[in-house]
Structure 1
Amino acid sequence: MKNFISRANTKYLALKRGWSPQQNLFYGFLTYILLGTLLLCLPWLQKTSTSLLDNLFIATSAVSTTGLVTVSVFDSYNIIGQGIIMLLFQLGGIGYLTFTTFMLLSTTRKITPWHKSILNTEFTLPNTIEIKDFLKSIVLYTLIMEVLGAILFFIAFKSQGMSLGENLWLSIFHSISAFCTAGFSLFNSGFTEYVDNSLINFTISMLAITGSLGFIVITDVGMWIKNKSHKLSFTTKIVVVVSTLLMLFGFLFFYFVEPTIYNLEGSARVTAAFFQSMTAMTTVGFNTVDFGTFILPMILITVFLMYIGASPSGTAGGMKITTLTAVLAIMKSRLRGRKNITFLGRRIPYERLYVATSSFIFYTSIIAIGTFLLTLTEDFSFESILFEVSSALGTVGLSTGITGNLSVFGKSTVIVLMFIGRLGVLTFGLAIWSKSITAKEREILKEDLAV
């Protein structure tokens, strides 16, 4: 039996090493989802009977750190089932192989080329950051922030009259969910009852923003704090500046335009406006007001923020701020007739521009296809469907309230969108369609194309 297991493991490892890094990520996250689905299907983890499709939906939503749900997590699963869901979005948040590679570094202080190739594919790092420093930053920073968040939640929930055990579990669950921008809540109405609770709003915002800033930014800033001679990367500067501007943009629209928010009194109006902008931008997916009541212009503003998303190599989803920056830089340089593509006085390498434009086109195309497919089978307004698709692909988790009422085809479509969103549109495309370049393809002549 031992020999059989050993031979099977050897063949499996050889198979994995034969896959491309993108295919390893594809099958790695798919394995997480399938294992999570099987566990959630166990009757003794459920409070009420839950279908296979709903369990698959919840597992995919957790691994992709989305937060869209077709059934109530609190009403459908017991504390062990809730713990399985929490483990899934923790693994999805920090990334495939991150924790195991960190343990490998802690024991052998070396990582294999196989591990390194996968991590470099999942986390696109600037040249100024070493993969070893990056991994240590991910694990330690995640632990520190989630413990701090749990403490703050515990203090906030204590005033709500909860028992010690209930308070402790809710604090841990929501802290990990917020930092991983997973959007899963054990409250059926989300955080709408806490719209004016400053400590809860602050805790969620702090965790979501620090998680969505990306591990590149955190590692970069940490190295700068240790060594003042270390220069912050261009990526860090772009992420901080653009995310701040976009969050302010969203805040102003929510504050002045959305009736649900500007009808609130006092500080609650400011808090609610900031929180809804933050939750869309960081893709954390928590809400303190009902998005189903929003007017159409604010639905579109929220879709735009979810579409952009946050920083690369972090817990958030979306197309990414750096992709938006690169596309805007291309447009600006073309309009000014410049050959070099620059942003804030820095020239962006062409290989990064190719990735950004490909990602922009592919991401937008998937949103269009997903929206078209849902309009074929779902009896909801176009804006609600577009909102749902953008939330799923951006791994946000916000909804106008249609998720649980989707058809089997609709739920299946959203599952695929969430999986693509977590994997990354280009990684997904390369995992499915990439192949080795043949000698014949190398001989193809270059031709000009007028655009």
Structure 2
Amino acid sequence: MKMIENIQSFQWSPRFTHIIQRISFWLSLISVILVFYDLGFQKSDTTAQRLITMYLSALFVGCISIGLRYIFSGKHPGFKVKVIDIIILTLFVFLIIIRTDLLVADLGFFNKKGWLYLAVFLYFIREFSSLRLDFKTQYFNPAQLFITSFLGIILIGTFLLLLPNATHSGISLIDALFTSTSAVCVTGLIVVDTGSYFTQFGQTIILVLIQLGGIGIMTFATYFSYFFRGQSSYETQLMMRDMTNSEKIGEVFSAMKKILLITFTIEFIGGILIFFSLGKSVTGFGSKLFFSTFHTISSFCNAGFSTLANSLYEPGFRFNYPLHIILALLFILGGLGFPIVLNVYTYFKHLIINRVLPLRKNERCLHRPWVINMNTRIVLLSTFVLLIGGSIGFYALEYDNTLAAHTEFGKIVTAFFGAATPRTAGFNSIDYADLRFGTLMLIFLLMWIGASPASTGGGIKTSTFAIATLNFFSLAKGKDRIELYKREIADISVRRAFAIISLSLMVIGIAISLIVSFDSDQNLLKIAFECFSAYSTVGLSMGITSALSDPSKMVLIATMFIGRVSMLTILIAMLRRVRHLNYKYPTEEILIN
């Protein structure tokens, strides 16, 4: 014990700890790169055996470095850090025990070698999260950081999809970039069939890209950095407050924790429900598990990717209405937005504590606080109206067309699914090439509106459309402001809403014009459908995506990216922000009509 105290009092211990941490991080990074090499390329048994030895050696050094840092830090490690380190150590001991059985030919993640990959990735996450992720506002603003994080993960995803073992017969650079962008931007447009073209390794890469793109890579990185270090700079908290839409700085990491917890909980429950709804459509426990995992993440993140060639229109899934309902609920929840889900959670918590429990004690609650905020009320109301109105419209227009093969209950479910999926989900249970023109116009509107703010979906957002609609009535009534639920909508919200609407139409219009010039042989309606789908990150298509030329694919890539991060965010990142507005010019009215 006294020897440990002497070691802790060593004058170079902070520097020594820093050196150990840096060495361990670079070792973990090299190990992860070797994992991708291991999975991405064909190798001889000798090379594979050497790689396993290198993984185990890296984990051994990692466990030693973690232990040394505990000793030299002189502090009692927190419970959370202790748990993750125990997991890494346990996996290392387990891997040593099964050392002789690690060399397997299958690249799947459900074998003994998968435990080795898991240990290496946990080791890397632990070391990466120990680094200081403090962002200086004089170098980066939240918009620039948000855009950069998406660009970075898209480029990494493109490189990984180009690995030989990611596909069965190789893939071009433009198609890999398109697929990676579609996955990170949770769009769902594809140029090659996900299920047959990519191996399970390639599909796993797409799945990870969807999850990172849906929640946001910065949310993961910053939260886990705080998780391991237990602290963060004031500037980082300010930046993450803007990125997570938190009202208070002190609630930033609490909100991020709830976002991750809610996401993984919903995806876990959804995966279980999907697993038991498959029946005999998918055979084998491993295949069912992967199918369920892939589709629950793709659904909640509103990505629209599927391992089925024709999505849910595939025979065997077309009439699986329980599966359709589960997927619809998942992408509706994902499309509501994390602030809305958190606010609803707060409301029900308040309802139970302050309303239900006092009734058992015969107490009367006199104070009724404003728990459900204005943003939540607008989003929930607009989402309800769009779902019900869209379902009725879809049912009426397609009753004797694409819905003819379904039972009455099936018609209702398919109409509901058909109205919900255009709002950035991207799954299809019908053939969109057979839809009537009136139905296509309805889908155009639903795609353009999209999901809600701070969600995994795209589009101009439900609140933007709601504010624009309320502004119509406000002007017609002669009001100089928008009022709702005894509240006044802030002028900046109105200005932002109409800026988003104008920019969206401009981007979509330019995209349509460019693709028409590059692929003049394609139908204009199908091109417009493709561009609306790309901008709103929907993923629905009338079947022309793979037939487009490379320049047109690049246009769609740019459109998907702009739609995910929003053109307004790009402008904010590019233009210098005005710091002083302590003046005001005389006001003049401009003739409008």
TM-score normalised to structure 2 length: 0.70
| d(CA) in 1 for partners of 2:589, 2:269 | 55
Partner SS state of residue 227, structure 1: helix
State the AA in 2 paired with 1:306: M
Identity %: 30
CA distance in 2 between counterparts of 1:134 and 1:151 reads: 26
Question: Is contact 1:262-1:269 (8 Å) kept?
Answer: yes
Structure 1: how far apart are the matches of 2:249 and 2:578? Answer: 31
Distance 1:406 1:11 in 2: 44
- Equivalent of 2:483 in 331, 342, 353: 342
Mapping 1:209-228, distance limit 5 Å: 209-228=332-351
Q: 1:269: Cα distance to partner?
A: 1.2
CA distance in 2, matches of 1:44, 1:291: 33
Query: Using a 3 Å threshold, how does the CA distance of structure 1 residues 161 and 80 change in structure 2: closer, same or farther?
Result: closer
Q: What amino acid is aligned across from residue 340 of structure 1 in structure 2? A: R
Deviations 1:39-87 (A, max 9, x none): 1111122211110000000000000000000011122221111111100
SS in 2 for 1:23: helix
- Could you say if the C-alpha distance between residues 40 and 132 of structure 1 is closer, same or farther in structure 2, counting changes exceeding 3 Å? same
Q: Is the 8 A contact 1:214 1:312 kept in 2?
A: yes
Per-residue CA distance 1:235-293 (angstroms, 9 max, x = gap): 11111111111111111111111243341332221111111101012x11000001111
* 1:322-368 residue CA offsets vs partner (Å, 9 max, x unmatched): 11111122222122111122234421011211211111111121111
Query: Given the superposition, is the C-alpha separation of residues 438 and 347 from structure 1 closer, same or farther in structure 2, using an over 3 Å criterion?
Result: closer
CA contact (8 A) 2:340 2:376 kept: yes
What residue in structure 2 maps to residue 276 of structure 1?
A: 418
Does the CA-based 8 Å contact 2:134-2:236 persist in structure 1? no
Distance 2:570 2:467 in 1: 21
Contact 2:325–2:413 at 8 Å: present in 1 too?
no
Which of 294, 317, 328 does residue 205 from structure 1 map onto?
Answer: 328
In structure 1, what residue type is equivalent to 2:540? Answer: L
For residue 449 of structure 1, report the CA deviation from its aligned partner.
Answer: 4.6
Do the aligned partners of residues 380 and 345 (structure 1) sit closer, same or farther apart at CA in structure 2, a change above 3 Å counting?
Answer: farther
Deviation by residue 1:173-201 (Cα, 9 ceiling, x = unmatched): 11110010110000011001323212211
List alignment gaps of at least 5 residues for structure 2.
1-18, 27-127, 352-368
* Correspondences of 1:176-325 after superposition (within 5 Å): 176-192=297-313, 193=315, 194-228=317-351, 231-258=371-398, 259-266=400-407, 267-281=409-423, 283-325=424-466
Opposite residue 165 of structure 2, the aligned amino acid is: W
Cα distance in structure 2, aligned partners of 1:218 and 1:436: 31
**Which one has more relative contact order, counting CA pairs under 8 Å at least 6 apart?**
1
Alignment-derived partner of residue 165 in structure 2: 44
Amino acid at match of 2:455: G
User: Aligned in 2, Cα 1:161/1:51: closer, same or farther, shift over 3 Å?
Assistant: closer
Cα distance 1:358–1:181, how it changes in 2: closer, same or farther (>3 A)? same
Residues in 1 aligned to 2:282 and 2:453: alpha-carbon distance in whole angstroms: 39
Distance 1:231-1:398 versus aligned 2 partners, 3 A rule: same
Whole-angstrom distance in 2 between the partners of 1:128 and 1:18:
20
Query: 143, 155, 160: which one pairs with 2:264?
Result: 143
**More displaced 10-residue stretch of structure 1: 384-393 or 192-201:** 192-201
Label 1:113 to 1:323 Cα distance change in 2 as closer, same or farther (>3 A): farther
Match of 1:169 among 284, 290, 296: 290
Q: What do residues 147-175 of structure 1 show as CA deviations (whole Å, max 9, x unaligned)? A: 11111111122432511111111111111
Structure 1 residues 361-440: aligned runs within 5 Å? 361-378=502-519, 379-431=521-573, 433-437=574-578
Aligned amino acid, residue 330 of structure 2 = L
2-structure distance, mates of 1:15, 1:124? 19
Q: Does 1:26 align with 2:147?
A: yes
Which amino acid letter does the alignment assign opposite residue 267 of structure 2?
E
- Give the Cα separation in 2 of the matches to 1:161 and 1:216: 36
Per-residue CA deviation, residues 103-131 of structure 1 (Å, 9 max, x unaligned), is 23434554434433443443445679943
Separation (CA, whole Å) in 2 of partners of 1:444 and 1:236: 33
Query: So what's the TM-score if we normalise by structure 1?
Result: 0.92
The range that moved more, 396-405 or 328-337, is 328-337
Q: Is the 8 A contact 2:241 2:248 kept in 1?
A: no
**Structure 1: stretches of 5+ with no match in the other structure:** none
Q: CA RMSD in A?
A: 2.7
Aligned equivalents of 1:231, 1:442: Cα separation in 2: 34
Once the 2 structures are TM-superposed, how far is the Cα of residue 442 of structure 1 from its aligned partner?
A: 8.7
What residue identity is the alignment partner of 1:247? Answer: L
Distance 1:206 1:14, change over 3 A: closer
> Secondary structure of the equivalent of 1:236?
helix
Bigger mean CA deviation after superposition, 355-364 or 297-306: 355-364
Q: 1:62 corresponds to which residue?
A: 183
Q: 1:413 offset after TM fit, Å?
A: 0.3
- With 75-84 and 98-107 compared, the bigger mean Cα shift is at 98-107
**Structure 1 residue 300, shift from structure 2 partner:** 1.1
Q: Is the 1:123–1:312 contact (alpha carbons within 8 Å) kept by the matching residues of 2?
A: no
Do the aligned partners of 1:261 and 1:273 also contact (CA within 8 Å) in 2? no
Distance 1:321 1:14 in 2: 32
Separation of aligned partners in 2, 1:438 and 1:227: 40
CA distance in 2, matches of 1:12, 1:140: 22
Report the residue type matching 2:447 in the other structure. M
